[in-house]
A = this chain, B = another copy of it.
Amino acid sequence: MGATTLTLPPGGYDDFHVHLRQGALGTFAVKQLVASGARLAYVMPNTVPPVTTTAQALAYRDWLVAQAPAPHLRYCMTLYLSPEVTPEEIERAAAAGIVGVKSYPKGVTTNSDAGVGEYDAYFPTFAAMERLGMVLNLHGELPSNDAEGIHVMNAEERFLGHLERLHKRFPRLRIVLEHCTTAAAIQTVERLGPTVAATITVHHLSLTVNDWAGQPHNFCKPVAKTAADRDALLQAVRSGNPKFFLGTDSAPHVRARKEGPATAAGVFTGAYVMPYLAEVLSRIGALDRLVPFATAYGRAFYQLPANGADDGAARAAAPAVTLCPDPDATIPAELTFVDETGATTAVVPFAASQKMGWRLDRAV
């Protein structure tokens, strides 16, 4: 299975959905990102406080760049959809090279009509984004609500009507349904126009509800669904439909926040994104889909240069990245960093201590 070496474009792969945090955990996350062979990081704005202005986004990018030397690595910045994100702010953001705006479920109420109503308030913002070519990134879940019969297992499917209505209202607005987890989402994205795409994480290509029930390190939002849903994600990647591309949603939490009385939502794939992906795609005989899924389709949708490097200097600095079969390659049991208090702190990666069968080689 996949006994051939895979060569990635200069610099490596593109992650169109990643959480890079702040502080010592952020420094750790950036170093993991660089080690993962990423040449592009589409950065989520859910920091504390959230990134809601162009100035915050640029300052956050400067901070990220300073955490690890990687001139070949492009950070694509986003704003957190909120009342501060006015059409005027969109003008500033577009002029400054901010790529997208991320909408979180809190921006959608549990009632479908009211949900649309909440989006209505942002229509002027969406119109400005459409006009200026910015991308809308949707966390596609409705908040759980007993009266509405909405729970973690159907929250994504119940959201899809909102996606379709937004697309019909703003047909030229590029919309990405982030970290999709269901067959219903795959079918909806396939059916809608070319301005609608979706990211797929590495962990959702492996996990089902059985894997997070009782295993906090596999718990994330949206939760992994059934085997049939997971298989629909695998088929979407295998099909080579360019509407589906890699966004890892890699989200580090310290061990104590994953193994406590309340489990923080998030799976950390960190530096091991490519080995996980090679392993799962080789299992279904679709290793040939890894390079376009992880390096081509996302750039095409985002209308970014196909060339991994942004300029000559960056291209020169871009390391050669290859994936090599390695039967002894194993994911570490934990990764550590020194936090602000000076304490050595652990983050448990996805599939900790498991053999992955692939090794990433980077040579600058």
Contacts and interface: CB of A to CB of B under 8 A. Distances in A.
B213 A216 contact: no
A178 to B, nearest CB: 19
Interface string A325-359: 00000000000000000000000100000000000
A208 B148 CA distance: 14
B146 A208 contact: yes
**Interface residue range, chain A:** 20 to 34
A interface, over-half SS:
loop
| Count of chain copies | 2
Given A146-B227, A216-B216, A219-B214, A209 B261 contact: no
A228 to B, nearest CB: 6
Interface string A172-209: 00000000000000000000000000000000000011
A361 B219 CA distance: 41
A334 to B, nearest CB: 10
Select the residue from A149, A223, A263 with max chain B CB neighbours within 10 A: A263
Contact of A214 (B147, B153, B208, B265): B265
A264 B226 CA distance: 22
A151 interface: yes
A109 to B, nearest CB: 16
What 7 pairs across the A-B complex have the smallest Cβ distances? A146-B227, A214-B263, A144-B210, A152-B213, A151-B209, A151-B210, A259-B260
